Structure formats: structure tokens, C-alpha cells
Copies of this chain bind each other. A is one copy, B any other.
Amino acid sequence: MAVYTDITEDDLSAFLEAYDVGQLTSYKGIAEGVENSNFLLHTTKGAYILTLYEKRVNAGDLPFFLGLMHHLADRGLSCPLPLPRADGELLGELSGRPAAVISFLEGMWLRKPEAKHCREVGKALAEMHLAGQGFDLKRPNALSVGGWRPLWVNSEARADEVQTGLKDEISAELAHLENHWPKTLPDGVIHADLFPDNVFFLGDQLSGLIDFYFACNDYLAYDVAVCLNSWCFEKNGSYNITKGMALLSGYESVRKLTAGEVEALPLLCRGSALRFFLTRLYDWLMTPAGALVVKKDPLEYLTKIRFHRAIVSSAEYGLRIEGASA
């Protein structure tokens, strides 16, 4: 939610000459994207997003992110499409930063999603998983099980500042997940951050998925776990099984979960909740007081970790399991 880099009209107009977007008529820095600077452009041909990639994004990952969006859009998924330059490249440079021009997606993210929207999200997630097949670049998930301990090491000593007992509880949780993390599940390209603010709707129709800057290769069902965590809990911390059923049945209307995935789901949910807990805890402890940044409460995800720890079967998430009583 910040614009880090200002750009001059001259530089921008010169930059845009390499693109088939018509004449620039306005550009506004928009309050979207924590990691990058984003501008909404109007030109004589329409609306576009200009993204300048700031230092927190590894420039080596950009071909993966932009290539993936292109791959997915080519296969009919509604997502932002990076426009090619006259030289065929998807990436240029502006104000000393890697920069891309991306199609503008109409739609709004839902501050109060309902079960019917969760169903659409589940469906779109599965469509993305299928559309991602055949994308040939690879990007391992740096924030999967192997990445949690390095994060934890940096926060562990101060964790009890946030809540007494946190140090022991999270240490045990992390050890459990490291020891029991599944070894083989169907994998592919996952979004890895499909929170409500990354899904656009027009009315009740899902109009697109955005922000692929955490996308990577990992277990597909891990992405389902991320969505259950981010879409199906109420603000008071309770799990809304109606939303869970909708999300999971939406997903399975496109791609059936395997028996292995169904069995692993509670553990994947714990892992996904721990991942967001750890990054939020890190930001919480490391962000200087007074900085005008919205710090997200890590404890929201502690509640979720505890909920998942008590789950015995994926049926408790609302998953319809063949031959089982839900």
C-alpha cells in the first residue's frame, strides 16, 4: 500500500513508446501492492497498470512471475496480462527499476465475502492449478516448511513479548510440522497468497485473480489450505464451515482432491497458518514504532493454528468425503 518511486511524465512517455498502448493521458500512483510501486495509467487505448519492482522483490524471479501471468492468461484464466514490448520482452526499465505494463482488470475485492464467493474462489483456484500445467519455469516455495525455521530463529527470542508462552508453543508446532510434512503430493504452480484482496469480483461474478508475486511450485493442496485460512474464518476467529464447504466443493467441481491430499489437508492448513503467523510476527517485531505501515496481527493466525491442530478429519472443513459420513 505505497508508492515508493515517483516517475516523470517525460520518462514514462518515453518508456511507453516500446508498447502498443496509444498515448498516455494520465497516471496515478495507487495504494496497492505492499512490495511494489503501482500506477494506474489511462491512455488513448484504455487503462493499464504500470508496476515498478522495488528492492524487496528479487529481480531474478520476475521472468517467472510475468511469464506465469502470460501463461495463465493464454489458457483463459482471468488474470492481469503483462504486455510485450516491441522487442518481445515483458520487462523494461523505468526510473532505475524493472518495470512492466500490465492489462487493467476491472473488479473489486470483497471486504465481506460470502459463501457463494468462496465457491467461486475455490473454482478459480482449481482452474489456475490446471492452467499452470506446462509452465516450464520453476520457483521453489521459499516460504514452505523449509523456510519457516529461519524466520522463527529471528523472532523466537522476542515471541513472548507478543503473548506469554508463544515461544514454546510455536517451537513445538514448527517441530511437529517439520517432522510430519507430507513428502509426496500432487504439485504444480500455486498462487500461495490468494487472500480476498487478490480476487476481484464484478457483482457476484469472479472477474479475476491478481498479485502473482508469491507464486511458486509447491503442493496444490497447500494453496487450498491458504484459501481456507484466508476466506473461511470469521473476524471473531471462528471457522465458517458453510464457507469451507463452498470453497472446497467449488475447487472439486474443477479438480478432485486425491486421497493423499484429503488426508494431508489438516496438516497443510496448520502449515499455512504457521507461515502467515511467522511472517506477521517477524514484521510485528521488526517494524519500527511510528512507521506508517499497517502491521497485521500475528495472533489472528495463532487462533487458526490452534483450530487446525484440533482437526481430526478434513470432513470437519466441510469437505465431502466419498463413503464417509460428514
Residues of A within 8 A of B (CB): 1-3, 6, 8-10, 24-32, 40, 42, 47, 104-112, 200-202, 288-293
Contact = CB atoms under 8 A, between A and B. Distances in A.
A57 B106 CA distance: 31
Given A31-B30, A40-B30, A40-B40, A25 B107 contact: yes
Contacts of A24: 108
Contacts of A106: 25-26, 42
A259 to B, nearest CB: 39
Closest 5 CB pairs of A and B: A29-B31, A292-B292, A290-B290, A8-B111, A25-B106
A8 B9 CA distance: 32
Contacts of A6: 111
A3 B27 contact: no
A30 B27 contact: no
A154 B38 CA distance: 38
B47 A42 contact: yes
5 contacts: A9-B109, A9-B111, A30-B40, A288-B290, A290-B290
A289 B289 CA distance: 11
B31 A108 contact: no
A95 to B, nearest CB: 11
A110 B8 CA distance: 7
A202 B9 CA distance: 10
Given A25-B107, A25-B202, A26-B104, 19 more contacts: A8-B112, A9-B110, A9-B111, A9-B201, A25-B108, A26-B107, A26-B200, A28-B30, A28-B31, A28-B32, A31-B31, A40-B40, A42-B47, A42-B106, A290-B290, A290-B291, A291-B292, A292-B292, A292-B293
Contacts of A40: 28, 30, 40
A312 to B, nearest CB: 36
B9 A31 contact: no
A11 to B, nearest CB: 9
A9 B47 contact: no
Nearest to A109: B9
Contact of A31 (B3, B42, B202): B3
Contacts of A201: 9
Nearest to A47: B42
A42 B290 CA distance: 34
B30 A112 contact: no
Contacts of A290: 288-291
A24 B231 CA distance: 24
B26 A108 contact: yes
A54 to B, nearest CB: 14
Given A9-B110, A47-B42, A290-B290, A29 B30 contact: yes
A27 B27 CA distance: 14
A30 B30 CA distance: 4
Q: Which of A24, A26, A109 has the most CB of B within 10 A?
A: A26
